[in-house]
């Protein structure tokens, strides 16, 4: 296992959205509730991450709630990523967010992981398998 993948936990209050490079995929971490004011930077960060590396890990450890604008953003980001063949993995969503996703019948649409390391491991395995099947064709 490739050690502690991210040390981005440093709380950065003036930058609620951070984009970091992980070993297998870019990591977008949100250090605020997913509300209207975070939507714009989060949308940009997710788009940039998908364009650059494909699959994205969205770290929600420090996001406790989500409003309808945030939900809409998540859905749009998912659809855009899907069009490019990428997955958005959620890391440690709060119970509030899990409940919102469940209510909107969106659970099961996003792969959910406990921590960034697990998500990165999973994506690394996925990339390896994808690489093998593109090599075979």
Does residue 62 belong to the site contacting another protein (CB under 8 A)? no
Q: Is 38 helix (H, G, I), strand (E, B) or coil?
A: helix
Only one of the segments 25-33, 37-45, 62-70, 87-95 lies at the binding site for another protein (rule: CB under 8 A); that segment is 87-95
Under rule CB under 8 A, residue 65 binds another protein: no
Q: Is the CB of 69 or the CB of 126 nearer to another protein?
A: 126
> Does 1 interact with another protein (rule: CB under 8 A)?
yes
We find the least distance from the C-beta atom of residue 88 to another protein, in angstroms, to be 11
Which of these, 19, 107, 28, 106, lies nearest to 61 by C-alpha position? Answer: 28
Residue with Cβ nearer another protein (12 or 107): 107
Q: Which stretch binds another protein (CB under 8 A): 10-18, 27-35, 45-53, 106-114?
A: 106-114
Sign of CA dihedral 76, 79, 83, 85: positive
Percentages of the chain per state (helix, strand, coil), in multiples of 5: 45, 20, 35
Quote the least distance from Cβ 14 to another protein, whole Å: 28
> Left (φ > 0), alpha (ψ -120 to 50) or beta: where does 22 sit?
beta
Sheet strands (E) in the chain: 17-21, 26-30, 56-59, 88-91, 112-113
| Residue 7 in tokens | 């040390």
Binding site for another protein (CB under 8 A): 1, 82, 85, 87, 92-95, 98, 102, 105, 107-109, 111-114, 117-118, 121-122, 125-126, 128-130, 132-133, 136-137
């Amino acid at each position: 296992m490739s050690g502690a993948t991210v040390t981005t936990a440093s709380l950065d209050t003036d930058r609620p959205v951070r984009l970091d490079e992980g070993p297998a995929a870019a990591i977008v971490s949100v250090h605020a509730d997913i509300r209207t004011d975070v939507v714009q930077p989060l949308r940009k960060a997710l788009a940039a991450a998908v364009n650059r590396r494909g699959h994205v890990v969205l770290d929600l450890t420090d996001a406790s709630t989500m409003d309808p604008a945030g939900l809409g953003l998540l859905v749009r980001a998912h659809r855009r990523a899907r069009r490019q063949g990428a997955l958005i993995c959620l890391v440690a969503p709060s119970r509030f967010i899990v409940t919102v996703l469940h209510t909107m019948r969106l659970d099961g649409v996003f792969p959910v992981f406990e921590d960034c390391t697990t998500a990165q491991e999973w994506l690394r395995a996925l990339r390896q398998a994808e690489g093998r099947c593109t090599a075979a064709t």
